[in-house]
Structure 1
């Protein structure tokens, strides 16, 4: 499969790369772009929606807006070196 010249950086909610984000990645893959959904959490396992309080605390204590923005900015800079077009889609805190 040939690499696309377009990339979309998909930024998850405070819950991590959960089933919703996997669903969105699948749907967006129809746009003929490479969809990149990095895990910005300090854990490999996403939080469930029932664990909203824990997910929020993890975000505030281990990531935060400043660190999350830094990580995303660095990813966009790297992707711009590899792709002609780069888009960003974020959800909830990821949209901030």
Structure 2
């Protein structure tokens, strides 16, 4: 189990971050939240990844709009999460991400995100040069900047039945980055990696986790 620490971005903004894993770990991960905040699920994901030998930080990106946000996976939670996301500038998100990865320096560090965080992980690969590897799980905003140049190895995961991310978007990403590993899971919906969602798919989650861990083991050296 971890604890909340406070970090400061380059513009002076102070934000909470869930920190877990051995502080002496030689490798680091930045885990990026869904639109539901740094809730029980995101803390559990962070703890799970830390158990494989990482020092993990999960920044509360919503702190720029509202502090202490932990939303449920219902319509009200989704609506509030989307509203909060709309209030936060992408450049400010990256300031928080850069401050988080700086806290893990000089470890080789990767970034992994889910839902909105999957898109932010893509930004970590294309708008930052601080990461050794980046992984996005069902990031709906990736296709919008699919032509962006990547500065580190990237791995992406999507579900065939994800109603919010059309397969044509996934294919467009593949076309823009033919050498980038993009995995698509049959019978998997949006949020297939979250056990608190009705869309949780244990088989897809397990396989995507195995691929993610192998990817980080290869590149965080």
TM-score if structure 1 supplies the norm length? 0.82
Q: Work out the CA distance in 2 between the residues paired with 1:70 and 1:90.
A: 16
Q: Which runs of 4+ in 1 moved over 4 A?
A: none
Equivalences, count: 93
Q: Look at both structures and tell me which one has the larger radius of gyration over its CA atoms.
A: 2
Which ranges of structure 2 fall in alignment gaps of 5 or more residues?
Answer: 1-21, 120-221
Let me know the Cα RMSD of the aligned residues.
Answer: 1.8
- Residue of structure 1 equivalent to 2:113: 90
2:72 matches 1:72: no
Q: Give the deviation of 1:32 after TM superposition.
A: 0.8
Residue 57 to residue 22, structure 1, CA distance change in 2 (3 Å): same
Q: Give the deviation of 1:47 after TM superposition.
A: 1.3
Q: Work out the CA distance in 2 between the residues paired with 1:22 and 1:68.
A: 19
- Residue of structure 2 equivalent to 1:16: 37
Residue 38 to residue 2, structure 1, CA distance change in 2 (3 Å): closer
Q: Give the deviation of 1:74 after TM superposition.
A: 2.9
Q: Work out the CA distance in 2 between the residues paired with 1:31 and 1:70.
A: 27
SS in structure 2 at match of 1:37: strand
Which has the bigger relative contact order, CA under 8 A and spacing at least 6?
A: 1
Residue 45 to residue 6, structure 1, CA distance change in 2 (3 Å): same
Higher helix proportion, which one? 1
Higher strand proportion, which one? 2
